[in-house]
Amino acid sequence: MSRLVIMDFDGVIIDTEYVWFGIFQEWFKKKANYDLSKREFSLAIGADSNRLLTYLEKEKNIKINRKSFQKETQQLFIEKSRDLPPLNGVEKFIKNIKKKGWILSLATSSKIEKPLFHLKRLKLLKYFDYIVTADLVENIKPEPDLFLKAIELANVEKKNAIIIEDSKNGLIAGMRAGIDVIICPNRLTRFEDFTGCVDIVKSLEEIEL
């Protein structure tokens, strides 16, 4: 019987979310004199920036040049994230999955370039059987497409799969896909409501396979 572990990338493998939050805060303070809150930023965690930008445009009446925003924030992210270490317990968790002979997939709302760069840099890419990114599906989280694609590629039943997530958007996507979700929150998401997950852990070291 094949078993599948599906891992998110941002906030699960490396702590990119906090880097993004600092960049977004800085950009909105400089360009719009607006103090972006963690709660507002959470709209983008596990998804992409479009939900957050739409909210700020409609609810806060902030004019945003999206092309400039994407270009400027992306460049800052590349500079500030290139040396980020893996989060606590990541390497051991991944190696344990492969020792058991289980299938390991990545499912991220990012496009392929970012996770590929970091997984290669951290020498973790070889452990992943499948990488499912925004390039392969029509809708990203909180829609279930990424997880359903991971199930399809691995050819396993949903009951034999588990998702490791850090965000509310990721949890919603997993529940919509009909797959159990373990939440390992980061410092930005730890206060979110994760009703519906099968477990919440402080680090991947706590997960017993």
* CATH architecture group of domain 4-14+84-206: 3-Layer(aba) Sandwich (3.40)
Per residue of the chain (209 residues), give pLDDT as tens: 689 999 999 999 999 999 999 999 999 999 999 999 999 999 999 888 999 999 999 999 999 999 999 999 988 988 899 999 999 999 999 999 999 999 999 999 999 999 999 999 999 999 999 999 999 999 999 999 999 999 999 999 999 999 999 999 999 999 999 999 999 999 889 889 999 999 999 999 999 88
89: left (phi over 0), alpha (psi -120 to 50) or beta: left
pLDDT value for 26? 95
pLDDT value for 152? 98
Between 49-59 and 66-81, two packed helices, what is the crossing angle to 10 degrees? 130
**The tokens of 8 are what?**
């998110």
pLDDT value for 1? 67
Model confidence pLDDT, tens digit, residues 31-66:
999 999 999 999 999 888 999 999 999 999 999 999
161-165 sheet: strands from edge to edge: 130-132, 103-107, 4-7, 161-165, 180-183, 199-200
pLDDT value for 191? 87
| Whether 29 contacts 35, CB under 8 Å | yes
pLDDT value for 2? 85
pLDDT value for 116? 94
pLDDT value for 208? 87
Give CA separation, 77 vs 18, 166, 196, in Å.
11, 20, 32
pTM recorded for the entire structure? 0.90
